[in-house]
Copies of this chain bind each other. A is one copy, B any other.
Amino acid sequence: MTFDIQMTAKKASAAKHQIASLSNAKRKNLLTLIGNNLIAATPAILEANRLDIDHAKSSGLSAAMLDRLLLDESAIKNIADAVFQIAAQPDFLGAISHMQPQPSGIQVGKMRIPLGVIAMIYESRPNVTIDAAVLCLKSGNAVILRGGKEAQHSNQALAQVLKTSLNSLQLSEDIVTVIPIADREVMATMLTLSESIDLVIPRGGEGLINYVTANSRIPVIQHFKGVCHLYVDKAAQLDKALAILENGKTQRTGVCNALETLLVHESIAAAFLPLAAKMFESKSVVVHACAKSLTYFKDATPATDSDWHAEYLALEIAVRIVNDAEHAFEHIREYASGHTEVIVTEDFSLAQRFMREIDSSVVMVNASSRFSDGGELGLGAEIGISTSKLHAYGPMGAESLTTEKFVVIGDGSVRE
């Protein structure tokens, strides 16, 4: 099977103005229709998913991956509910901000517009197919989706729902494409099509993201590691610190907003670390401790430089006693991945400094790193997380898939 990605991208680019210039009301109709059509197509989607699951089992896919791949009636209902939620969110396209008269007499404002055509590369998770497509449509973009090969049949069934919905509103099918094959060459070619595609969002392992960054002529949203820090200051309330530590490290471990490193102010270490050690023991958290803190933990191993860099994604944590807040700032500047950092303190001025000076995408005072998520931050659904600063930084909602252009109003105005 071959697939003409050049033609697909060209068609998407030719169709993008249809979705971009749709009124917000019609766009809402489209999304609602997609939700309804999804539920109506449940039998067909489950049949396609059954094929994927059978293939996956016979090729020995891990239980965790099977779990992500599997759909049932309630999973489809959940996907549709997410679509209805996105449809109900406030619109932002066409919003004009800052309309200001200038000394020359012209008026200048900025209008929010879609980016154009967005390419998503992601794992074998069928729910992402709909989520990503709907977030792109909400923000007025055309979209090209390239999911993992294990989900191919499911994805094509979902693509059919998207195309049917576009069709019945007289919109071009080219606005959404789900690439039918997970071919490396097709992806490599896609990454060169900067004339038609405006943005690439890769989701998956570091290898994929490095590959896309190295080979793309199109701008890429990068999401590398989440090495999240908690700094417990000398002015911390210990109960708050302990709750935030437990929640951040143990509520869910395989996620990028889990805590990986605990920094504790020297003068509070003797009071706080025994509490932390007890909690770690009860939750079976493996500790990698600096020389100064080693004695607080029963079975801790000495932390090395690689522990400060580690994204464990497991019940494991690195612990370091720091001399003072300045030392904690230095550690975070050196080792943070740009994701989320937390301070626990009652020192108002220090909290202000932390929020101002730590330049990760999410900085928190007295709150758990687990809140670092599009939904919890009030963005609605999340299309990805950016840990590089260009265009978007941190969790990205639909509005991150837009930009602003200048609009100028004159009355026959010319420049002197």
Interface residues, chain A, with chain B CB atoms under 8 Å away: 17, 20-21, 94, 100, 102, 104, 106, 108, 111, 113-116, 194, 198-199, 213-214, 217, 219, 237, 239-240, 243-244, 246-247, 251, 333, 344, 353, 355-357, 359-368, 370-372, 376-378, 388-395, 403-415
Contacts and interface: CB of A to CB of B under 8 A. Distances in A.
Given A17-B359, A104-B371, A219-B219, A406 B394 contact: yes
B390 A243 contact: no
Contacts of A240: 411-412
Interface SS of chain A: mixed
How many copies of this chain? 2
B199 A370 contact: no
Contact of A377 (B102, B237, B243, B246): B102
Contact of A361 (B17, B108, B365, B406): B406
Contacts of A404: 393
B376 A104 contact: yes
A370 B106 CA distance: 12
A108 B378 contact: yes
Nearest to A194: B213
Nearest to A394: B406
Contacts of A217: 213-214
Nearest to A357: B21
A401 to B, nearest CB: 10
A263 to B, nearest CB: 17
Given A20-B359, A368-B414, A371-B410, 8 more contacts: A21-B357, A214-B217, A219-B391, A244-B414, A366-B412, A390-B390, A391-B391, A394-B406
Contacts of A410: 364-368, 371
A413 B412 CA distance: 57
B17 A357 contact: yes
A395 B110 CA distance: 12
A363 B104 contact: no
A412 B376 contact: no
A67 to B, nearest CB: 22
A366 B366 CA distance: 53
A413 B372 CA distance: 12
16 contacts: A17-B359, A102-B376, A104-B376, A106-B376, A237-B412, A344-B412, A362-B407, A363-B408, A366-B413, A367-B408, A367-B413, A368-B414, A368-B415, A377-B406, A394-B405, A395-B406
Contacts of A407: 355, 362-365
A179 B240 CA distance: 49
